[in-house]
A and B are shown apart, each in its own frame.
Chain A
Amino acid sequence: MEIAVIRYHAGNIQSVLFALERMGYRAHVTDNARIIRSADRVIFPGVGEASSAMSYLKARKLDEVIRSLTQPVLGICLGMQLMARYSEENNTPCLDIFPEEVKKFSSEGGLKVPQIGWNQITQLHSPLFEGVKDGAYVYFVHSYYVPCCAYTIAAASYGITYSAAIQRDHFYAVQFHPEKSAEVGERILRNFIHLS
């Protein structure tokens, strides 16, 4: 099983690598298009800011590489948001794998932004959540979100109900951090690796 974790300047990806190692997998951290294309699974992680992340990806033509992948791909956090069409964060056109717009949480009504902490995922319907209970807790850190849409495979609520995870064909994306979500997160990563 060859797993590629896309290297780009956003955030630290060490936690994803450690989580995979705990499960017995070694991943290649790479921005090399050939290695990414030939991997069995591709993980697109990220904590950071949308416009600088997109600039970085475009400068290395990784935007085209990611769009054209045919194996299972998992976007995490910022990775998920970058797979949308557009992000409100610095008005950034993104990869357009999902024709959705990323919005910012409104702090009206005293909502703290970013959301930091453990929240529940509900309305689970995807092989990604095989064996995960509806209402399971996972760890979120984010200010922006993908609204509920035709691609939503898990929802979460923070002021409003939004997409905790989305899927379109072989593209999967989660807003939370499975690599930091204890046993539930490990199960989700394992499910992703075992997708048929």
Chain B
Amino acid sequence: MLTKRIIPCLDIKDGRTVKGIYFENIRDAGDPVELGARYAAEGADELVFLDITATHEQRKTFAELVRQIAHHISIPFTVGGGISTAEDVHTLLNAGADKISVNTAAYRNPALIDELARLFGSQCVVVAIDTKFEENDWWVYLNGGRIRTQTRAVHWAHEVVDRGAGEILLTSMSHDGAKQGFALDLTRELATTLPVPIIASGGAGTMQHFLDVFQQAHADAALAASIFHFGEISIPELKAFLKQNGIPVRD
């Protein structure tokens, strides 16, 4: 049976992980390769590496880091952050990334999604959508949540799938950081109406929250950062809990 995926997200700044601090017996918790390998060994199903300071000059450094990650880690991983052209994607996939995620650039130039799907296949094109609940609806935000658009998240999600996105990474800014659980309503709406997997992100605080997003909202995968980095939830423990509650997970 296809399993639900648990995905730790590592933010990268200047080639170092931000917030990665808890692991014992790890030589350098700021080293994305070592931290990623540790998560892989603990049973993470995939990893996401987000280059949060991606500027043109730094992209080469990031590609080299992606190469290192691919060399050492034997589970799939997605890279994102500042990707805006097919050439960026080509570089990162050639360095060994399995998927890339696009966000603001895809919104500014939606034809980018079609182009990436045609050139590289939908299976490696993840579209990240950051969204906030305001005035009774979910709105798309850009530039790491700094710019609000007048586009409804549900509308945009359908468009990106029509254009060839293979997965959606859905982050609720209304829930992110609050540790009160994922955005169940929106996740459910997308997961049950779109023909591609939905990765839910934002709001995980307890193991029950993961169970809820799989059981009630039918998410295909759940992503979290700080609760894993700070050791508040360990992946083996989380997977055992989900399994006990009838969620198919890889053990």
On whether the two chains bind one another, the answer is yes
A residues in contact (CB < 8 Å) with B? 11-12, 14-15, 18-19, 21-22, 47-49, 107, 110, 112-120, 137, 139-142, 157-158, 177, 179-183, 185-186
- Looking at the complex, which of B69-77, B146-154, B202-210 is the stretch in contact with chain A? B69-77
- Of A14, A117, A140, the residue contacting B197 (CB under 8 A) is A117
Tell me which of A21, A117, A186 contacts B5 (CB under 8 A): A117
Residues of A within 8 A of B75 (CB): 139, 180-182
Which of chain B's residues has its CB closest to A137's CB? B250
Tell me whether B2 and A118 are in contact (CB under 8 A).
yes
* CB-based contact A117/B74 at 8 Å: no
Cross-chain contact A182 with B3 (CB below 8 angstroms): no
Give 9 closest A-B pairs by Cβ, nearest first: A137-B250, A14-B96, A118-B250, A119-B2, A141-B123, A118-B3, A12-B93, A18-B71, A180-B76
Is B18's CB within 8 Å of the partner chain A?
Answer: no
Q: Do the beta carbons of A18 and B123 come within 8 Å of each other?
A: no
CA distance A158 to B220 in the complex (A): 14
Shortest CB–CB separation between residue B223 and chain A, in angstroms? 14
**Within 8 Å of chain A (Cβ to Cβ): is B169?**
no
CB-nearest residue of chain A to B218: A110
Check A179–B197 contact: CB distance below 8 A: no
Q: Contacts A113-B195, A118-B250 known; A14 to B70 CB distance under 8 Å?
A: yes
Residues of A within 8 A of B93 (CB): 12
Residues in A whose Cβ lies below 8 Å from that of B70:
14-15, 18
Chain B positions within 8 Å of A180 at CB level: 74-76, 98
B74 lies within 8 A of A185 (CB): yes
Q: Which residues of A contact B250 (CB under 8 A)?
A: 118, 137
Contact between A114 and B96 (Cβ–Cβ < 8 Å)? no
What is the CA–CA distance of A180 and B221 in the complex, to the nearest angstrom? 17
CA distance A145 to B112 in the complex (A): 29
Q: How many B residues touch the partner, as a band?
A: 20 to 34
Whether A117 touches B98, Cβ cut-off 8 Å, given contacts A12-B93, A139-B76, A185-B74, is no
Given A117-B3, A118-B250, CB of A47 within 8 Å of CB of B123: yes
Query: Residue among A115, A120, A137 with the most chain B CB within 10 A?
Result: A137
A-B contact pairs, 18 of them (CB 8 A): A12-B94, A12-B96, A14-B94, A15-B70, A18-B71, A112-B196, A114-B122, A114-B123, A115-B2, A116-B166, A116-B167, A118-B2, A118-B5, A137-B3, A140-B2, A180-B75, A182-B75, A186-B74
Question: In the complex, A186 Cα to B2 Cα: how many Å?
Answer: 20
Query: With A49-B121, A118-B2, A185-B74 as given contacts, are A18 and B195 in contact (CB-CB < 8 Å)?
Result: no
With both beta carbons as reference points, the residue of chain A lying nearest to B74 in the complex is identified as A182
The distance in angstroms between the C-alpha atoms of A49 and B192, with both chains bound, is 27
Q: Is residue B40 contacting chain A, with contact meaning CB distance below 8 A?
A: yes
Residue of B74, B121, B167 most packed against chain A (CB within 10 A): B74
A68 to chain B, nearest CB (A): 29
Give the distance to chain A from B215, nearest Cβ to Cβ, in Å. Answer: 16
Chain B nearest CB, measured from A176 CB (Å): 11
Q: By the criterion CB–CB under 8 Å, are B195 and A107 in contact?
A: yes
In the complex, which residues of chain A have a beta carbon less than 8 angstroms from the beta carbon of B72? 22
Contact present for B166 and A179 (CB under 8 Å): no
A113 to B161 Cα, complex, angstroms: 12
In whole angstroms, what is the CA distance A118 to B94 when docked?
23
CB of B168, distance to nearest CB on chain A (Å): 11
Smallest CB separation, A119 vs chain B (Å): 5
User: Nearest-CB distance from A92 to chain B (Å)?
Assistant: 16
Say which residue of B1, B94, B123, B251 sits within 8 Å of A116 (CB atoms).
B123
The answer to the question of B11 belonging to the interface, with a C-beta cut-off of 8 Å to chain A, is no
Q: Are B45 and A117 interface neighbours, CB within 8 A?
A: yes
Q: How far is the CB of A172 from chain B (nearest CB, A)?
A: 20
Q: Does B95 contact A (CB under 8 A)?
A: yes
